[in-house]
Structure 1
């Protein structure tokens, strides 16, 4: 069964108090259940595209597997919504406990005490390298490119957009109703196609929450650009993990919140 990323629906729209019956487009969402070695491990609500990439990105970033070569077989059944994953090894029976266990920690190089999930501590990377440098103009150009390519968002207003880019332009873009899903789709594609992340930037349409910054750290990118706002905890984590965060990129203005040395302030 093939699904479209948007669905047509007849609605009643009021404009200046007047009623109009019109056709509108809404974002499509479907449940995706992942089975590993025959065992159900998670059900995600997702947009109906790039499902295999999303699952691979999720499994690696959440620590179910350490690399994509641990997967022997992956099969997506669109009709049932199941993704069947066969691993070369047995699934760690304690991994689910790590997924849900919180603890006060200084792991991931974090000197500030903060509640995080144990699985996050296992897979998060500290970005000590300085391989990516951007000018303010490049940041704004990349954000404009993301928004120009956000077709499903323009049609429905109900999805998040994420892209992988170099300073010269977008390399890969993904859309999903779930913020995490969009990033997992990027990461899964890179893992499956051996696309290097060393010189890449994440561009994101939504708010920079702590979970999004942690996901970027798991993917292994030094810089994240957003048109929206960060949270204080997201910035604390970004600072500790040495990730450059840039927010509110709009109308020729932007805010650099953490690790500003990756932004070349001497150029336009």
Structure 2
């Protein structure tokens, strides 16, 4: 963990859901929860960067993680203010160099397969070629214990559905868990949490309920996390990116089952095989 620094920030997290009335298959009315979804436009030194659709529970962390993962900033100390205003559906980020021009970086972007269409700015694909995550081994029994612990989470999904969840884990311990309408938002919020608190990705595990796409691998690689797993499947480019950066990639992880797509040599198979 590095020296702690925190910019001046609002604390503008929203309630994740609102009640509504639905009619079920029997024609009866019942109250259910629907996930809130709000637009949030990020401005950096008054320059409009992007508009994200989010449930809004961690808007400041989402903003920080997005800017870090997209390569706009490397040092958290460059950020002086993060101010969320839901009336204008905007977040104002003030930096220590207020005349920066991000137009060239923003001109080079790729719309990814992330829910709500994630966007990768600049030359992150080229940058990934220079990233190699630290080597890390993990026991099969630890994976099982972590997956069992994660069943206690997914609070929003259990109540309302319509979200993805991501978690930063130390072994079987869940350090931080986030749900949002898109998995790219959830991973950015965790990146913001790590950046804000000076947390290294070394020896961490990143869990997501979403697909293991190239975007997910790129972001986790930048965060320095060596193990990425999901209860869902992976894309071919996601696998290629994992091989390139050294990320141990595990798909279809649920209960006592998982598939290691990359980095099997980093798994210690110490548990009895499931029937």
> Is TM-score (shorter-chain normalized) higher than 0.5?
yes
The offset of 1:183, in angstroms, is: 0.4
The offset of 1:97, in angstroms, is: 1.4
The counterpart of 2:73, out of the listed 60, 65, 70, is 65
Distance 1:134 1:100, change over 3 A: closer
Does 1:74 find its partner at 2:79? no
Other-structure match for 2:8: none
- Residues 14-62 of structure 1: per-residue CA shift (max 9 Å, x gap): 1xxx212111111111100111111211100011111111101100110
Other-structure match for 1:110: none
Does 1:264 find its partner at 2:268? yes
Other-structure match for 2:20: 9
Instruction: State the superposition RMSD in angstroms.
Output: 2.1
Other-structure match for 1:92: 102
Looking at structure 2, the residues matched to 155 and 76 of structure 1 have their Cα atoms a distance apart, in angstroms, of 26
Give the TM-score, by structure 1 length.
0.87
The offset of 1:164, in angstroms, is: 0.4
The offset of 1:221, in angstroms, is: 0.7
Does 1:127 find its partner at 2:132? yes
Unaligned runs of 5+ in 2: 1-11, 113-119
Looking at structure 2, the residues matched to 100 and 248 of structure 1 have their Cα atoms a distance apart, in angstroms, of 27
Looking at structure 2, the residues matched to 186 and 204 of structure 1 have their Cα atoms a distance apart, in angstroms, of 11
The counterpart of 1:235, out of the listed 221, 229, 239, is 239
Unaligned runs of 5+ in 1: 103-115
The offset of 1:267, in angstroms, is: 5.0
- The list of structure 1 runs, each at least 4 consecutive aligned residues, that deviate by more than 6 angstroms after superposition, is none
Distance 1:3 1:251, change over 3 A: closer
Distance 1:266 1:11, change over 3 A: closer
- The answer to whether the Cα contact below 8 Å between 1:63 and 1:123 also exists between their aligned partners in 2 is no
Looking at structure 1, the residues matched to 13 and 167 of structure 2 have their Cα atoms a distance apart, in angstroms, of 24
